[in-house]
Amino acid sequence: MVNLGFSIGDLHFKNPVLTASGTFGYGPEFDDFLDVSRLGGIVVKGTTLEPREGNLYPRMAETPSGMLNAVGLQNKGIDYFEKNIYPSISGYDTNIIVNINGSYVDDYVTLAERINTLDKIPAVELNISCPNVKMGGMAFGTNLDSAREVTRAVRAAYSKILIVKLSPNVTNIVDFAKVVEEEGADSISLINTILGMSIDVEKMRPALSTITGGLSGPAIKPVALRMVWQVAKAVKIPVIGMGGIMTTSDALEFLLAGASAVQIGTASFIDPQASIKILEGIEKYLIEKGFSEIKEIVGYINRTK
């Protein structure tokens, strides 16, 4: 029996496999394919104060070993979430984390206050890295002062576990990690999508209605891994790694680089059971390697010469 559990602050996770926001709906979308309660956690779809329709179609383009998306935070808003979605998912026996987004600092604060009152939501993921909205989103996550301001404000208003999701679209992501840690974040998740674009040469126009969008999938994995490694060495709080994880081996790379946990994103689109398969694969790896706790492999490459 291996111990797969880890903690962020006083919040315990039964295992280090979570699903990434925007790739797993709210959970029930995947009920036919897996037992959601077996996961370490699920980060539900990005939520805003007001309902949002998102960007115009087309908002997706397939690219080599990946995809671009420009969904633009389509969601029905916090009122709908509280009333209609929360009751239907609060029965899952896993940590349900809400990814929160806003155009202004006050939006984030209000959302955090509202979610603070929901018993079955032990954590929020502060999304300061969405590349597909005109206001807010990545604007907060690509400016150190803004990242500091929004993290500080939410920290003051929110008493449970605060995870901040960083954007890779910066010169030095470590600076951002240090700032949010200083402002009281309990954990850092990274990376959000990498800004990219694609052009349909037959139609001679951009593939996405928004021209640019966020690149995800295995194409971004080496970049994500490098950033997770850099950040994990620079901060004391737990790091949650993501970016193109498709297999057990991919997930293990992030753990060995220093991530305490991983989020499975785009892989769930291709194999809705990817998260569970990776969870089973990690457990098997630990047994085969003779480890009894997941902790023993977290940051392993940084401890050995």
Partner 1 sequence: MAKRIEDLKIIENKRLNNDFFVLELSANDKLPVFKPGQFVQVRVDGSPKTFLRRPISIHDVDYGRNTFKLLIQITGKGTKTLSKLSNGDFLNLIYPLGNSFGLPDKNEKILLVGGGCGVAPLLFLGKYLKSNGYVPDILFGFRNSERIIELEEYLEIGKVFLTTEDGSRGEKGYITSHSIFSNGTYDKIYCCGPDSMMRAIAGYCKKNNIACEVSLENLMACGIGACLCCIVDTVNGNLCTCIDGPVFNITELKW
Cis amide prior to 58 (ω within 30 degrees): yes
- What's the closest the beta carbon of residue 61 comes to partner 1, in angstroms? 8
Instruction: Give Rg (Cα) of the chain.
Output: 18
Sign of CA pseudo-dihedral 77, 78, 81, 84? negative
Per CB under 8 A, contacts with partner 1 among 72-111 are 74
Catalytic pick from 18, 89, 100, 130? 130
- What's the closest the beta carbon of residue 232 comes to partner 1, in angstroms? 28
Name which of 95 and 268 has its Cβ closer to partner 1: 268
Q: How far is CA 223 from the centre of its chain?
A: 16
CB 4 within 8 A of CB 14: yes
Asked if residue 217 binds partner 1 (CB under 8 A), the reply is yes
Sign of CA pseudo-dihedral 276, 277, 280, 285? negative
- Can you tell me which of 269, 285, 291, 300 binds partner 1, judged by CB under 8 A? 269
Backbone angles phi, psi at 191, to 5 degrees: -115, 155
Nearest to 158 by CA among 106, 115, 101, 96: 115
Q: Give the binding range for partner 1 (CB under 8 A) out of 2-10, 159-167, 176-184, 269-277.
A: 269-277
Name which of 244 and 299 has its Cβ closer to partner 1: 244
- What's the closest the beta carbon of residue 264 comes to partner 1, in angstroms? 12
Q: Give the binding range for partner 1 (CB under 8 A) out of 99-107, 152-160, 180-188, 216-224.
A: 216-224
Strand 212-216 versus strand 66-69 pairing type: antiparallel
Name which of 62 and 113 has its Cβ closer to partner 1: 62
130 tagged catalytic: yes
Name which of 131 and 258 has its Cβ closer to partner 1: 131
Q: Give the binding range for partner 1 (CB under 8 A) out of 4-12, 192-200, 212-220, 294-302.
A: 212-220
Cis amide prior to 191 (ω within 30 degrees): yes
Alpha-carbon torsion, ordered 101, 102, 105, 108, to 10 deg: -50
Asked if residue 57 binds partner 1 (CB under 8 A), the reply is yes
Binding mask 219-258 for partner 1 (x = CB under 8 A): x---------------------------------------
Within 10 Å of residue 222's Cβ, how many Cβ atoms?
12
DSSP state of 294: G
Asked if residue 54 binds partner 1 (CB under 8 A), the reply is yes
Q: Please tell me the count of residues contacting partner 1 according to CB under 8 A.
A: 36
Asked if residue 71 binds partner 1 (CB under 8 A), the reply is yes
Q: Give the binding range for partner 1 (CB under 8 A) out of 52-60, 92-100, 112-120, 295-303.
A: 52-60
Nearest to 127 by CA among 110, 151, 143, 106: 151
Per CB under 8 A, contacts with partner 1 among 20-39 are 22-25, 29-30, 32-33
Task: Report the alpha-carbon distance of residue 33 to residue 170 in Å, rounded.
Answer: 37
- Can you tell me which of 4, 36, 43, 67 binds partner 1, judged by CB under 8 A? 67
Greatest CA separation found in the chain?
57
The SS3 call for residue 211 is coil
Residues classed as catalytic: 130
Residues contributing to the site for partner 1 (CB under 8 A): 22-25, 29-30, 32-33, 45, 53-54, 56-67, 69, 71, 74, 217-219, 266, 268-273
